[in-house]
């Protein structure tokens, strides 16, 4: 499933608690909220039945203590562990509309980058209320967390998390001012060879970790690149998010990178960093954990 999850992610990148809680009225100042598409979503009461169509959204709902509202998640929503016990409604780009409607949700949460536009249109045509998030950087992630806090009545919990993320971001930015950025190749995938530019949250993770993304100025957000060009740019480090629990796959990727980029400083000096893809690929509450994880591997 993880391999298919990675394939689904690559395709997407290229194409670009209520059981014991009474329902409360939303404050009059928050009867409506704009999603990241600019659509005004009206909320007369707090939603009781939420479907999350993205792992980062599911993580966020758990983090702000709104998991009891979740009645459905995607096949890829696996963190925290309890998310695996929620009703599955299909994939991120191919959700099962029959299951979704049967769950009678009063709100469906999805993302611009993770879900297909066709899904959004189909859900709207079914008469379902949809809220769309589009976190493109740390500030966007903070906004998403706070938005979900407003929607679920967990503003205090959301603000605590988002404030901590903001303070940590400032801390690492200040820390980086006293050091020299290390030239880095950020790999999104090996087959095809793909990286990310400055308009992505993954790039911000890398920069907060003290690296200079060699492909940050590319015009395309997730450009295809060649081994020849990477060799010419000669990165000091290579960062590759992957399924670190898949020993066979991990070894395969490591050999492929080493064989094709053996003349780069990163390979010659054994500076190829493999990190958990679920932390780096999910724009959510664990964003600073990703920064700390990468930094821990070079300190």
With a CB cutoff of 8 Å and minimum separation 6, the contacts of 216 are 197, 198, 203, 207
Does a structural domain hold residue 74?
A: yes
Q: Tell whether 88 and 205 lie within a shared domain.
A: no
Could you say which DSSP state residue 256 is in? H
Q: Tell whether 145 and 228 lie within a shared domain.
A: no
Over residues 279-291, the pLDDT tens digits come to 998 999 999 999 9
With a CB cutoff of 8 Å and minimum separation 6, the contacts of 203 are 186, 196, 197, 213, 216
Query: Of 119, 135, 165, which residue is a domain's last?
Result: 165
**What is the pTM (predicted TM-score) of this model?**
0.86
Check pLDDT > 50 for residue 35.
yes
How far is CA 217 from each of CA 14, 200, 220, 231, rounded to the nearest angstrom? Answer: 17, 11, 9, 18
Does a structural domain hold residue 227?
A: yes
How far is CA 103 from each of CA 61, 86, 108, 122, rounded to the nearest angstrom? Answer: 18, 12, 11, 16
Does a structural domain hold residue 173?
A: no
Q: Tell whether 155 and 280 lie within a shared domain.
A: no
Q: Tell whether 190 and 247 lie within a shared domain.
A: yes
DSSP 127-154: T--EEEE---SHHHHHHHHHHHHHHHT-
3-state secondary structure of 110: strand
DSSP 216-233: TT-SSSS-B--HHHHHHH
Does a structural domain hold residue 145?
A: yes
Q: Tell whether 251 and 228 lie within a shared domain.
A: yes
Instruction: Name the band, by pLDDT with cuts 50, 70 and 90, for residue 60.
Output: very high
Check pLDDT > 70 for residue 24.
no
Confidence at residue 265, expressed as pLDDT on a 0 to 100 scale:
96
Total tally of structural domains belonging to the chain: 2
3-state secondary structure of 97: helix
Q: Express as a percent the part of the chain with pLDDT over 70.
A: 90
Query: Of 136, 165, 194, which residue is a domain's last?
Result: 165
Does a structural domain hold residue 30?
A: yes
Angle of helix 287-296 relative to helix 201-208, nearest 10 degrees, comes to 40
Q: Tell whether 83 and 39 lie within a shared domain.
A: yes
CA separation for the pair 170, 226 (Å, rounded): 34
CA separation for the pair 277, 116 (Å, rounded): 21
The CATH number for 132's domain is 3.40.50.1980
Q: Tell whether 61 and 25 lie within a shared domain.
A: yes
Mean pLDDT, residues 215-234 taken together: 96
Confidence at residue 5, expressed as pLDDT on a 0 to 100 scale:
52
CB atoms within 10 A of CB 262: 10
Instruction: Name the band, by pLDDT with cuts 50, 70 and 90, for residue 243.
Output: confident
How far is CA 116 from each of CA 1, 72, 110, 127, 202, rounded to the nearest angstrom? Answer: 19, 18, 9, 18, 20
Least confident stretch, 174-183, 200-209, 258-267: 174-183
Q: Tell whether 183 and 272 lie within a shared domain.
A: yes
Mean pLDDT, residues 272-279 taken together: 91
Over residues 205-222, the pLDDT tens digits come to 999 999 999 999 999 999
Does a structural domain hold residue 174?
A: no
Query: Of 116, 132, 165, which residue is a domain's last?
Result: 165
Q: Tell whether 154 and 188 lie within a shared domain.
A: no
Domain encompassing residue 112: 2-165
Mean pLDDT, residues 249-278 taken together: 92
Does a structural domain hold residue 172?
A: no
Check pLDDT > 70 for residue 4.
no
Q: Tell whether 99 and 214 lie within a shared domain.
A: no
Contact 187, 195 (CB under 8 A): yes
Confidence at residue 17, expressed as pLDDT on a 0 to 100 scale:
33
């Amino acid at each position: 499933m993880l391999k298919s999850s990675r394939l689904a992610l690559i395709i997407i990148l290229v194409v670009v608690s209520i059981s014991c809680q009474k329902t409360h009225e939303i404050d009059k100042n928050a009867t409506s909220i704009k999603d990241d598409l600019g659509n005004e979503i009206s909320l007369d009461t707090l939603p009781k039945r939420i479907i999350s169509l993205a792992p980062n959204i599911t993580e966020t709902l758990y983090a702000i203590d709104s998991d009891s509202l979740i009645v459905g998640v995607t096949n890829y929503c696996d963190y925290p562990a309890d998310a695996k016990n929620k009703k599955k409604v299909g994939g991120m780009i191919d959700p099962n509309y029959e299951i979704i409607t049967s769950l009678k949700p009063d709100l469906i949460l999805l993302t611009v980058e993770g879900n297909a536009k066709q899904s959004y249109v189909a859900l709207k045509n079914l008469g379902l209320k949809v809220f769309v998030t589009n976190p493109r950087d740390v500030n966007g992630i903070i906004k998403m967390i706070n938005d979900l806090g407003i929607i679920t009545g967990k503003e205090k919990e959301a603000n605590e998390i988002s404030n901590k993320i903001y303070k940590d971001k400032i801390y690492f930015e200040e820390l980086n001012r006293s050091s020299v950025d290390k030239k880095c190749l950020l790999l999104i995938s090996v087959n095809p060879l793909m990286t990310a530019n400055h308009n992505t949250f993954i790039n911000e993770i890398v920069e907060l970790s003290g690296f200079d993304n060699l492909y940050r100025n590319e015009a395309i957000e997730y450009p295809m690149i060649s081994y020849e060009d990477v060799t010419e740019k000669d990165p000091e480090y290579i960062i590759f998010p992957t399924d670190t629990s898949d020993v066979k796959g991990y070894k395969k990727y490591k050999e492929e990178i080493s064989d094709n980029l053996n003349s780069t400083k990163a390979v010659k000096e054994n500076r190829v960093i493999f990190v958990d893809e679920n932390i780096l690929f999910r724009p959510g509450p664990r964003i600073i954990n990703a920064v700390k994880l990468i930094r821990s591997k070079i300190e």
